[in-house]
Structure 1
Amino acid sequence: MAESTEHQQLAAILGPEPAATFQTVISHLISSPSALQTLISDLISSEKRSEAELVFNICKQADQESLSLKLAQLLQVSPDEKTLAMCSILLRKQLLTRDLWRRLSRNTKSTLKHTLLSCIQREDTPTSISKAISYAVSELASAVLFAEGWPELLPFQFQSTSYDAPPKLQECSFLIFDQLAYFFAPFKEELHTVFLYCLSSSTRSDEVKIAAFSAVVSFIRCLPSSEDPNMFHDVLIEMMRTVMGELNKGKEIMAQEAIKLFIELARTHPSLLSRNGQIIRAMLQIAEAIDVLEQGTRHLAIEFLITLAEAGERAPWIMRRCREFVGLLFPILMRMVSNVKDDPSWHTAETDDDIALGVSGDYCVGQECLHRLAIALGGNNIVPIALEHFTAHFAAPEWPKHHAALIALAQIAEGCSEVMIKDLEQVVPMVLNSFKHPHIRVRWSAINAVGQLSTYLAPDLQVQYHQQVFSALNATIYGLQNRRLLAHAASALQKFIEKCARDILTP
């Protein structure tokens, strides 16, 4: 009954062929390269896809082994890029079908392995297709390496990463190392040499180096806890040199990809990246180049630095030189939060829903990172340096610097509360004096700071400065100022009162 239904479906698509049995039609589709090529083309076509999918699925049910071999053959010989892409997808799905590989004959398995490696080496194959085949190799290898092995794979890998191999082949080989890092862990000495040689080379392409560095990161993360990852420190230094060199050439996209990988590694192996400070100092240089580099590049460098700071004792260089580190990073963040413009729309908004009007990407990232840095390193390391910068900013004539100091003060309050409480006589006047600033956005940031300090410096702030804070907020609320300021002051007053003792509130 099932075969009869399939025969009817197939006849409806291909047309009635009384002389041909169902099996004959299927065999023709599987065995004929031109017929399979047509079927693949129909799978790509949006108009014929549903019918082609039905036919292809029937072929799979009829003879998966022959279909896999023919897909591999077509992948090897087809000149059409779309066909190659579809074949790589279909073959990858075929090979990952549950229990299919186990049912294939030994000769078919050998043929498929050989064909996949040959296809990666095919020079006229587009890079995107070669990468897709590389992922197919990786997934197949992860399924069979432990069970039955793949003796040809490792020699192929080392040969493909040599300097005289085509760049596309080098990149694909490193992609496979990346995906199979766990399986290649026993060859760490050999791989260390391969990685170091690649990343220190001046002739390797950017794409090859990024693929190699991604493999390095995956390999380090896969090392057993008993293994020492420090043997790869020189590889990381070489990659950092490459990043700086690329930035000097204006190649920021490649640098950004590399820094993302550094961030990934910082989350799992911070001690390796803060071993002697070279990489940290380089990232600080990138973060500082505000007038030279793109925001995206600088923000990634800062994310790396903050991630290491959040690692605490697992980032020993930062812990040993914490004041030095903060002294270098804090002014960069202060400069970022100073990047705010006087957007006319801000003045007409009645609520803080449009709080981002006139602020830059630098401002948003800087604000968040000040908060994270303070929580990570604490008041003893942050407050002395912060107060120096706040004093300098308030002495400057530009309103954005006053605004930045108040925003930064509010952002570090949570992480630095225990130390800031001891410096209330210095902190509170900075805030309350700004309630009379001629620029409305500075007054808004002063109110915002009161709201934050009311939460994190309570109850000391309320006990020592309730009269001054009440006076400043009441003057704003009843002074018929901007409605947005009024709403924000009311919110700050509520936060202040919530932490007040009853005797303070009694008239």
Structure 2
Amino acid sequence: MESDETVKTLVKELLLSPVLSSLEFLLSYLTPPRGEDRDRVQAEVIFAYCRQHYPNALSLKLSDLLESSTEFNSTSLYATLLHGLLSRQSTNISPMILTELKPRIFTCFQQQRINPTNFRTLSKSISIVASRVFETEHGDWQELLDYVVSSVDSDDLNELAFMVFSDLPMNMGRFLKPKFDSLYLAFLKCLSSPNMKIRILAYSASSLLVQQLAGFDVDYDNKGDLLPAMLKLLIDLIDDTNDLFIEEGLKDLVRLAAIDPSFFTKHLKQLCESMVQIAEVNDLWEGSRYAALEVIKAVNDSATKEMSAMMQNLHGEIVNRLISSSMDMLVRIEHDPAWYIMDANKGENARKNARKTRSYDLGICLLGVISSAVPGDLILPISLELIQEYLSLKGWRIRHAGIVTLAVIAERCSEVH
């Protein structure tokens, strides 16, 4: 292996040369077939030295190779190496070099001759550069934002546009707000697409858009159709048996409730009905059914006043289903010998909480919310009928759920007394 001085000399020759063939030849040893071990090791040493000491020059050289490459394996290699360099050395690349990299990387991404398998790597690289660009006070990448807005509405390019949008750094609210109307209309259109994959991508993008714009005073009352379209997708996915995305999509709503409850307040009744509908599907994963009711709790925690007002006007059928779904959570409890062990060191609370699942705790919480908000003359007949039904069934868990429900409602609803 060459000495440090020799490596340094080779590196300078590679990076200062206007010809790309020498660097291209060196990098060919980094991918199979690798040739002799000695050549491969030498290539790795030289590339590592370039990456460590000259990230600015190397990033431009790799982007040059990426733009000129016509062979798939080489293109994949250059895209991967550039992404790795940006991931490790982003903060060491100067603003001037970033300005040069922006159009180069973006052009490579848009080139249709690049195999789609490289799109994700390039999109991640765009994200890293965008994060640096947009964190500055006067940073701008108007071409990138215009591409997302125009392409997401194109049947040929919307998948790529959603990919870029999903990779955007989470510091772009002030740049996206002026684009909100256009993005809103494009996302809304895609949420009703006949292509289920596009609908799912639009759902995730809509969630990210709300997160990006949190704190920027977006008026969702006048642009409030995103949430109903997102809820419809979740319901449609029940028949598609897409449990994985249903659960992930519900977790997105839980996060959004904490970030920006105003996104939900116009559609609380529809939200509640949709979540109950999901929680009632026995064939769904338990995690999905739990997440559906967790959405109701999360929105109630963030918009308690609005949620309480909505529940006061619910009709009997949905109250019945909501209480029933909550009671079903109470059945998720396991027998534990710790109940019968009086251990002064663990305390009474430890014994009482033995083998209670998070579903059980969620059921208790929701019953408390319902019994506090729904008028007594509506909730009492419904709840007492369900309690009697549970107490008449076999199985200690079901009867236990009925007794606990009675205790919760008696505590929160004065009419019980």
**TM-score, with normalisation over the residues of structure 1?**
0.63
- Aligned pair in 2 of structure 1 residues 103, 238: CA closer, same or farther (>3 Å)? closer
Q: 1:248 aligns with which of 236, 239, 243?
A: 239
Contact 2:326 2:364 in 1 (8 A): no
In the aligned structure 2, how far is the partner of 1:35 from the partner of 1:152? 33
> 1:121 Cα deviation (Å)?
2.8
- Decide whether aligned partners of structure 1 residues 150 and 419 sit closer, same or farther in structure 2, where only a CA change above 3 A counts: closer
Q: Name the residue aligned to 1:472.
A: none
Which residue of structure 2 aligns with residue 117 of structure 1? 106
The structure with higher relative contact order (CA 8 Å, sep 6+) is 2
- Cα offset for 1:117? 1.1
Query: What residue in structure 2 maps to residue 313 of structure 1?
Result: 305
- 1:306-385 residue pairs with structure 2 within 5 A? 306-310=297-301, 311-315=303-307, 318-321=310-313, 326-339=319-332, 351=341, 364-374=357-367, 376=369, 379=372, 381=374, 384=380
Q: Distance in 1 between matches of 2:415 and 2:184?
A: 51
Alignment partners' CA distance in 1, 2:138 and 2:45? 33
Instruction: Supply the distance in 2 between the matched residues of 1:24 and 1:393 (Cα, whole angstroms).
Output: 80
Residue 70, structure 1, aligned to residue 61, structure 2: yes
Indicate conservation of the 8 Å contact 2:11/2:49, yes or no: no
Q: Does structure 2 conserve the Cα–Cα contact (< 8 Å) formed by 1:330 and 1:386?
A: yes
Cα distance change, pair 131–368 in 1 and its aligned pair in 2 (3 A): farther
Partner of 2:399: 402
Structure 2 match to 1:203: 195
Contact 2:246 2:288 in 1 (8 A): yes
Aligned AA for 2:27? Q
Answer whether contact 1:280 1:305 (CA < 8 A) is retained: yes
Secondary structure of the corresponding residue to residue 266 of structure 2: coil
Q: Which residue of 2 aligns with 1:478?
A: none
Q: Are the counterparts in 1 of residues 328 and 363 from structure 2 also a CA contact under 8 Å?
A: no
Q: Please say if 1:184 is aligned against 2:176.
A: yes
2:86 equivalent to 1:91 = yes
**Do the aligned partners of 1:256 and 1:297 also contact (CA within 8 Å) in 2?**
yes
Q: Tell whether the 8 Å contact from 1:262 to 1:304 is kept in structure 2 after alignment.
A: yes
**Structure 2 CA distance for partners of 1:238 and 1:380, relative to 1, 3 Å:** closer
Structure 1 residues 313 and 178, CA gap change in structure 2 (3 angstroms): farther
**1:389–1:53 Cα change, 3 Å:** farther
Match of 2:9 in 1: 23
For residues 233 and 304 of structure 1, the distance between their equivalents in structure 2, rounded to whole angstroms, comes to 18
Please say if residues 181 and 215 of structure 1, whose CA atoms lie closer than 8 Å, have aligned partners that are also in contact: no
SS of aligned partner of 1:300? helix
State whether residues 338 and 351 of structure 2, in contact with CA within 8 Å, keep that contact through their aligned partners in structure 1: no
Task: Report the CA distance shift for 1:177/1:26 in structure 2 as closer, same or farther (over 3 A).
Answer: closer
SS in 1 for 2:64: helix
d(CA) in 1 for partners of 2:166, 2:63: 20
Q: 1:182 & 1:163 partners in 2: Cα distance?
A: 25
- Asked if residue 218 in structure 1 is aligned to residue 211 in structure 2, the reply is yes
Percent identity of equivalent pairs = 21
Contact 2:207 2:252 survives alignment (8 Å): yes
Counterparts of 1:293 and 1:216, CA distance in 2: 28
Shift of 1:243: 1.8
SS at match of 2:241: coil
Instruction: Note closer, same or farther for the CA distance 1:394–1:150 as it changes in structure 2 (3 Å cut).
Output: closer
Alignment partners' CA distance in 2, 1:85 and 1:327 = 55
Letter in 2 for 1:90: L
Please list, as runs of the form range in 1=range in 2, the aligned pairs for 1:207-286 lying within 5 A after superposition.
207-224=200-217, 227-276=218-267, 277-286=269-278
What is the RMSD of the two structures over their aligned residues, measured on CA atoms?
4.1
- Look up the SS of the partner of 1:293 in the other structure: coil
Contact 2:27/2:43 (<8 A) preserved = no
Summarize the Cα distance change of 1:177–1:211 in structure 2 as closer, same or farther, 3 Å threshold: farther
Q: How many angstroms apart in 2 are the aligned matches of 1:131 and 1:210? A: 19
How far apart, CA to CA, are the structure 2 residues paired with 1:170 and 1:327? 43
- Distance, in Å, in 2 between the alignment partners of 1:407 and 1:51 is 71
Q: Does the 8 Å CA contact 2:391/2:403 hold for their aligned counterparts? A: no
- The whole-number CA distance in structure 2 between the counterparts of 1:314 and 1:229 is 15
Moved more, 126-135 or 184-193: 126-135
The 8 Å contact of residues 393 and 405 in structure 1, kept in 2 or not, is answered as yes
1:280-316 superposed Cα distances (whole Å, 9 cap, x missing partner): 2111100111x22221221111110111232311436
Q: Distance in 1 between matches of 2:368 and 2:16?
A: 64
For 1:103 and 1:408, the matched residues in 2 are separated by 65
Shift of 1:153: 2.1
Query: Residue 473 of structure 1 aligns with which residue?
Result: none
Can you give the 5+ residue segments of structure 1 that lack an aligned partner in the other structure?
Answer: 1-6, 15-21, 424-507
Paired position in structure 2 for 1:9:
4
Shift of 1:220: 4.3
Partners of 1:181 and 1:219 within 8 A in 2: yes
Task: Map residues 437-452 of structure 1 onto 2, 5 A cutoff.
Answer: none
Task: State the SS of the aligned residue for 1:96.
Answer: helix
1:231 partner SS:
coil
1:298 equivalent in structure 2 = 289
1:30 touches 1:67 (CA, 8 Å); kept in 2?
Answer: no
Distance in 2, matches of 1:365 and 1:406, equals 19
Relative distance call for 1:231 and 1:286 in structure 2 (3 A) is same
Secondary structure of 1:232 counterpart: coil
CA drift at 1:418: 6.3
Deviation at 1:67, TM superposition (A): 1.0
Q: Which residue of 2 aligns with 1:391?
A: 388
| Structure 2 CA distance for aligned equivalents of residues 167 and 244 of structure 1 | 23
Counterpart Cα distance in 1 of 2:177 and 2:82: 31
Distance in 1 between the 2:155 and 2:373 partners? 55
How many Å separate the matches in 1 of 2:319 and 2:213?
Answer: 28
Cα distance change, pair 152–407 in 1 and its aligned pair in 2 (3 A):
same
